[in-house]
Amino acid sequence: MTSPAAPARVLVVDDQVVVRAGFAAIVDAEPDFEVVGEAGDGAEAVTLADRLRPDVVLMDIRMPGMDGLTATNLLTGSAADHVPRVLVLTTFDLDSYVYEALRAGASGFLLKDAHPAELLTALRVVVTGEAMLAPAITRRLIDTFTAAPAPQVVPDVLDTLTPREREVVSLIATGLANAEIAARLGVATGTVKTHINALLRKLDLRDRVQVTIFAYDAGLVRPKPPLS
């Protein structure tokens, strides 16, 4: 008989004590999660993450001192000894840092007024290695927050992708889910998943959030101009 999997370890980071305690209580009540620590700013989060080695960090983005963006950079950077998944908390309409947080290595974001069930779903998605970024939210992020970056990816990197893989990258970056990509290409959803897994390996990327960022950096897609 196999033993049950250990609960996923969660670090909750928010400068508001009541908000932080509320998130921690919701998460810790679930049998598949264990809140191993709480932090009130980014610097404390980095210190605790190094010591407690959480699987997921629930990270507020706006905090005094070291903010969530800087902390996410440090937690997910190549120099990090332990790399947790980071789920960013945001008010969305006010936080222009969301795109930068995703670029920094966050696995997605969640609205701070989300229902408890949405919070738990987001954590479960992230802890499995996927990105918590709904297609509609991807579209809004791209339309609202991306400034047109100059292509930063060398041609040799793009040359490792097949034409179909490039097409899949572009469709991911426009916010399409796997089923929508499959319908667009006239293939099975399983085929799309195979293409995604292959391009993640080739590009050494972690999830579809990073694929979206890659697509913009590579110039495969361009942000829409802001609405007037």
pLDDT band of residue 112 (cuts 50, 70, 90) is: confident
Q: Supply the pTM of this predicted model.
A: 0.70
Residue 87 pairs with which residues in a beta bridge? 58, 108
The mean pLDDT of 156-182, rounded to a whole number, is 86
Give Cα 210 distance to the centre of its chain.
8
Rounded Cα distance, 95 and 90, in Å: 6
pLDDT score, position 105: 80
The mean pLDDT of 134-152, rounded to a whole number, is 53
Has residue 82 got a pLDDT over 70? Answer: yes
Give Cα 139 distance to the centre of its chain.
15
Rounded Cα distance, 207 and 216, in Å: 15
Two structure tokens written together for 142 = 């791209």
pLDDT tens figures, 25-40: 999 999 999 999 999 9
pLDDT score, position 133: 60
pLDDT score, position 80: 67
The strand order across the sheet containing 33-39 reads 33-39, 8-13, 56-60, 85-90, 108-111
Q: For residues 22 and 172, which has the higher predicted lDDT (pLDDT)?
A: 22
Has residue 2 got a pLDDT over 50? Answer: no
pLDDT score, position 226: 44
Ranges 4-13, 17-26, 200-209, 214-223: which has the least confidence = 214-223
